[in-house]
């Protein structure tokens, strides 16, 4: 009788769990009524924050076609048949001025070699008739840029010719070797006091768009910011929820697989991509089951910085959880009664309560229909 009561209790508990699972409340994010066109399956060619090739081309129009002298340049002056005023080594001072015998100081900063040569000839005509001279540049030290930020060797780089952005990054050593997880995403070119442009290094380096390889002017500042803060977040019913670094092209499926994929409790029909546009957020529902079963990649969007991929929980997941928690306890109770039966405690208990012979109980225990036998004995009494 006691064993029948236990079986009835166990079945009642399971029925209650089924009822709770059927009444489980389903909470899912509400999709935005507006279709946000920022969700695309191909990487964006340009972003508002980055300079387009036309802007970079316009920026390079003011670059001089000839080299301009400046501080640190090493010059050589040869005057025909006048060794007394010739000079093999003239260093342009920090103030951009050189000193020539009988001519005096000459301002050379931001001037071409030919322009300075004509001025020296004009001033020497006061002392010599038709002077012939040659002004040459022995060492170019005024064709430089300052590369700052996340590069192996930040500092001043000097160009042997017309410098470009890629050349500046190469001369600065590229990415630090010690940061294996680092990657280049963008950089700023600061020119003068009022001009700054941002260049999309992903488009330049990964896609080979050489139109973004901006010419570098003397004294430009190139700044490469840290990229570790560019992340996407995978949350909900995935095996390894957390943040994933947004390196190059990262899609919805890529992020989901990097997070270990959905768990057994995941609702693959209702997953969401959440994107924040400044102050507001936009939610788009993605049917992962349809995507995989029908090979429909129309919703396999390219992810952007701070995107959130959220996988909801299925309706039966709460029931499955309760079942996993309760059934081991029922098994422990069942194990306890069987143990008491083996040690003879239960036969003695039945003899005391029902007057049943312990030997008959043992015989009934070996009988597959022992529950029915006990029940018949109890009903007869």
Q: What is the pLDDT of residue 141?
A: 87
Q: Which two tokens stand for residue 356?
A: 């049943």
Q: In the listed set 139, 171, 195, which residue is the last one of a domain according to the structure?
A: 139
Co-location of 220 and 234 in the same domain:
no
Last residue of a domain, one of 139, 172, 189: 139
User: Are 251 and 296 contained in the same domain?
Assistant: yes
Do 257 and 272 belong to one domain? yes
Q: How far apart, in whole angstroms, are the C-alpha atoms of residue 72 and residue 69? A: 9
On the question of pLDDT at 15 being above 70, the answer is: no
Q: Which DSSP helix (H) or strand (E) runs through 203?
A: helix 201-205
pLDDT of 82 reads 87
Asked, for residue 50, whether it belongs to a domain, the answer is no
Which CATH number covers residue 83?
A: 3.30.1950.10
How much is the pLDDT for 260?
A: 93
Using one digit for the tens of pLDDT, what is the confidence trace for 107-155? 999 899 999 999 999 999 988 888 888 999 998 888 899 999 888 899 9
pLDDT at position 143, please? 86
The Cβ-side half-sphere exposure at 233, using a 13 Å CA radius, reads 10
pLDDT at 372: 45
Flag whether pLDDT at 80 surpasses 70.
yes
Q: Give the pLDDT score at 282.
A: 86
pLDDT in tens, 21-36: 545 444 444 444 444 5
Question: Phi/psi class of residue 72: alpha, beta or left (left: φ > 0; alpha: ψ in -120 to 50)?
Answer: left
Torsion of CA 75, 79, 82, 84, to 10 degrees: -10
Burial class of 231 by CB neighbour count within 10 A (0 to 12, 13 to 18, 19+): middle
User: Of 259, 179, 164, 261, whose CA–CA distance to 216 is shortest?
Assistant: 164
**Mean per-residue pLDDT over the chain, rounded:** 76
Helices and strands in the chain: count of H runs, count of E runs: 11, 15
pLDDT at 209 over 60: yes
Q: Which helix (H) or strand (E) holds 271?
A: strand 266-277
Phi, psi of 369 (to 5 degrees): -100, 35
309 strand-pairing partners:
234, 273
Euclidean distance between CA atoms 310 and 23, whole angstroms: 23
The answer to the question of residue 2 being in a domain is: no
Final residue in a domain of this structure, among 313, 344, 364? 313
Q: Which tokens in the block code for residue 229?
A: 């803060």
Paired residues of 75 in beta bridges: 90, 137
Give the pLDDT score at 196.
85
Condensed to tens digits (0 to 9), the pLDDT of residues 311-370 reads 998 865 555 555 555 555 545 445 455 555 555 555 665 665 556 565 554 455 455 444
| Residues 286 and 238 grouped into a single domain | yes
Residues 280 and 322 in one domain: no
Question: What is the total residue count of the chain?
Answer: 381
Residue 177 is assigned to a structural domain of this protein: yes
Let me know whether 242 and 303 are in one domain.
yes
State whether 37 and 81 are in the same domain: no
CA angle 376, 377, 381 (to 5 degrees): 115
C-alpha distances out from residue 124 to 2, 103, 104, 157, Å = 126, 7, 10, 37
Tell me the mean pLDDT in the region 243-266. Answer: 87
> 204 and 155 in one domain?
yes
Residue 130, classed as helix, strand or coil, is coil
Q: Which residues pair with 238 in a beta bridge?
A: 262
**Within the chain, what is the greatest distance between any pair of CA atoms?**
147
Same domain, 236 and 300: yes
Write down the pTM of the prediction: 0.55
CA proximity to 28, closest of 316, 319, 270: 270
pLDDT digits (tens, 9 = 90+) for 256-310: 999 999 998 899 898 999 987 666 778 889 999 999 999 888 889 988 888 899 9
Cβ atoms of residues 116 and 135 within 8 Å? yes
Regarding whether 275 and 300 lie in a shared domain, the answer is: yes
Q: How many domains does the chain have?
A: 4
65 domain-assigned: no
- The answer to whether the beta carbons of residues 297 and 286 sit under 8 Å apart is no
Two tokens, residue 38: 């920022």
Check whether residue 306 and residue 347 sit in a common domain.
Answer: no
> Which pLDDT score is estimated for 102?
86
Please report, for the domain that includes residue 241, its CATH number: 3.10.560.10
Residue where the block lists tokens 């030997």: 359
| Upper half-sphere CA count for residue 97 (Cβ side, 13 Å) | 6
Structural domain harbouring 363: 317-380
Surface-to-core class of residue 54, CB atoms within 10 Å of its CB (0-12 exposed, 13-18 middle, 19+ buried) = exposed
- pLDDT tens for 174-188 read 876 555 555 677 889
| pLDDT reading at 10 higher than 60 | no
- Two tokens, residue 61: 């129009």
Classify residue 18: in a domain, yes or no: no
**Three-class SS of residue 324?**
helix
The verdict on 173 and 118 lying in the same domain is: no
Q: Judge whether 55 lies within some domain.
A: no
């Amino acid at each position: 009788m006691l064993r029948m009561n236990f079986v009835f209790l166990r079945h009642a508990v399971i029925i209650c769990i089924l009822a709770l699972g059927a009444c489980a409340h389903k909470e899912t994010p509400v999709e935005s009524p507006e279709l946000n066109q920022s969700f695309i399956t191909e990487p964006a060619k340009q972003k508002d924050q980055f300079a387009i090739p036309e802007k970079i081309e316009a920026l390079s129009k003011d670059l001089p076609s000839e080299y301009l002298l400046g501080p640190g340049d090493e010059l050589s002056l040869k005057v025909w048949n006048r060794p007394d005023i010739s000079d093999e080594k003239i260093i342009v001072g920090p103030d951009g001025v050189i000193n020539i015998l009988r001519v005096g100081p000459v301002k050379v900063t931001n001037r071409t070699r030919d322009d300075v040569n004509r001025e020296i000839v004009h001033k020497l005509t006061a002392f010599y008739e038709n002077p012939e001279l040659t002004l040459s540049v022995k060492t170019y030290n005024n064709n430089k840029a300052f590369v700052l930020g996340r590069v192996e060797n930040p500092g001043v780089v000097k160009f042997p010719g017309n410098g470009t952005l890629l050349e500046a990054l190469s001369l600065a050593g590229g990415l630090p070797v010690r940061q294996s997880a680092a990657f280049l995403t963008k950089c700023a070119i600061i020119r003068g006091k009022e001009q700054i442009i941002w260049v999309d290094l992903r488009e330049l380096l990964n896609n080979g768009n050489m139109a973004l390889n901006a010419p570098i002017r003397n004294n430009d500042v190139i700044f490469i910011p840290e990229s570790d803060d560019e992340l996407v977040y995978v949350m909900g019913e995935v095996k390894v929820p957390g943040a994933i670094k947004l390196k190059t092209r990262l899609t919805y499926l890529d992020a989901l697989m990097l997070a270990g994929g959905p768990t057994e409790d995941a609702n693959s029909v209702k997953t969401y991509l959440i994107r924040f546009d400044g102050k507001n957020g936009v939610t788009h529902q993605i049917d992962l089951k349809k995507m995989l079963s029908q090979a429909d990649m129309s919703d396999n969007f390219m992810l952007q910085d701070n995107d959130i991929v959220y996988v909801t929980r299925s309706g039966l997941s709460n029931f499955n959880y309760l079942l996993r928690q309760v059934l081991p306890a029922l098994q422990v109770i069942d194990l306890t009664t069987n143990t008491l039966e083996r040690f003879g405690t239960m036969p003695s208990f039945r003899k005391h309560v029902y007057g049943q012979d312990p030997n008959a109980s043992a015989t009934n225990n070996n009988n597959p229909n022992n529950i029915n036998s006990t029940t018949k004995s109890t009903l007869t009494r």
